[in-house]
Amino acid sequence: MIFRGKKHLVGLDIGSRTIKACELVPAQKGYALKNLALMDIEPGLIVDGMISRPSELAGAVRALFHKNKIKEKNIALAIGGYSVIMKNITVKKTDEKSMHNSVTMEAEQYIPFDINDVNIDFHVLGQNKHNVDQLDILLVAAKKEIVEDYAGLVEAAGFSPSIIDIDALALQNCYEFNHGGENDTSALVDIGASKTSLNIIKNSVPVFMRDVSLGCGQIDQQIASQCGCSVSEAQKIKMGEASDKISDEQIAKIETDIIKNWCTEIRRAIDFFYSTYPDDSFNHIILSGGGANIEEFRELLALETSNNVEVIKPFTNVQINRGQFDAAYIEEIAPQAAVCVGLALRSVDDK
């Protein structure tokens, strides 16, 4: 059997409103899609990236895997938000052990938490172009509490957390696998339920990252507030369920006002990038997440930023059995699946 000595795993993206799982297996030409599953979860299980009801969330993960007959136990999952810090720094060339100490010492000035409360990792990007005795490093730091909570959640669900990645880097992994991007500058914008992240990458190196607390959940909350109903009921109304408490015109106005705010915040972040890196530029924005499917948002963002705006295509270089997966469904959920595809591209023996 070709997969007997398998090292693949399942990419699991745990969002505040939806959990997504993707399983890719090695194929004759790259990878093939074996499993793809999404399931909405109740509001409040995750708040601001923090797991608030772990037993219920673990049960949801178990149910997702069971319903979709996902048997693989090794999991790659992602964390993000304000408990994660990523920074490009420069350190002196030295041996591996000394470099780790140098990175840890350097990290203290960038991390707004007690250094003893975080896990630190780094990736060597290459020699600094201004000083041959120094290396450019991508520093990643995450609060131990968050890492332990997410790892514990996966274990409580009955699986093994083999890799814990950063959501922005998993998205970048997906983008570069499917779109290339090794020799260009691109802005990756992920619009989730409660968080929007911007990652500007240049020649495969993240050069500017920012998270803002806005997303599709704002639309649901506004509808719920106006109708005096729950967020879950508001979601159904947004998706077309008839209601005598709010008109289609009122829903459209809510969506338009919130989308305008998204575009303003993204444009501000991009303007800050240009003020920080005045010699750099890019001409295309790649959207992912649930908000990517909103046509009005794509059109307004293109106008606001004077950029080409595209929706990510996470399965461009993935073989899909059309007899197993419905093509229209895959296309519809593709933007939401980008992070878990990027996770599924990892291997059990990765760093």
What CATH number did the domain enclosing 134 receive? 3.30.1490.300
Q: How far apart are CA 102 and CA 351, in angstroms?
A: 20
Q: Are 61 and 12 in contact (CB under 8 A)?
A: yes
Q: Residue 255 domain-assigned?
A: no
Q: Which long-range contacts (CB under 8 A, 24 or more apart) does 293-297 make?
A: 293/332, 293/335, 294/255, 294/259, 296/255, 296/256, 296/259, 297/191, 297/259, 297/262, 297/263
Q: How far apart are CA 329 and CA 337, in angstroms?
A: 12
Q: Residue 238 domain-assigned?
A: no
Q: How far apart are CA 185 and CA 205, in angstroms?
A: 9
Q: Residue 191 domain-assigned?
A: no
Strands (E), the chain: 10-14, 18-27, 30-40, 46-47, 50-51, 74-79, 84-92, 118-127, 134-143, 160-166, 185-191, 196-202, 205-212, 284-288, 308-311, 318-319
Helices 217-227/231-238 angle, 10° precision: 100
Name the phi and psi angles at 135, rounded to 5: -120, 145
Q: Are 80 and 168 in contact (CB under 8 A)?
A: yes
Q: How far apart are CA 318 and CA 247, in angstroms?
A: 42
Q: How is residue 232 written in tokens?
A: 């879950």
Q: Residue 235 domain-assigned?
A: no
Q: Residue 136 domain-assigned?
A: yes
Q: How far apart are CA 36 and CA 47, in angstroms?
A: 25
Structural domain count, the chain: 1
Q: Residue 129 domain-assigned?
A: yes
Q: Residue 138 domain-assigned?
A: yes
Around Cβ 106, how many Cβ atoms within 10 Å?
18
Q: Which residues pair with 78 in a beta bridge?
A: 165
Q: How is residue 349 written in tokens?
A: 């023996």
Q: Residue 236 domain-assigned?
A: no
Residue 8 per-residue DSSP state: -
Q: Which domain holds residue 130?
A: 84-142
What length does the chain have?
Answer: 351
Question: Would you state the pLDDT for residue 6?
Answer: 58
Find the Cα–Cα–Cα–Cα dihedral 196, 198, 199, 200, rounded to 10°: 160
Task: Fill in the amino acid letter for 56.
Answer: E
- pLDDT means per 10 residues, the chain with 351 residues, are 58 95 91 95 88 96 96 95 88 84 86 90 88 91 94 97 94 92 83 92 88 91 92 87 89 95 94 89 90 95 94 95 92 95 90 59
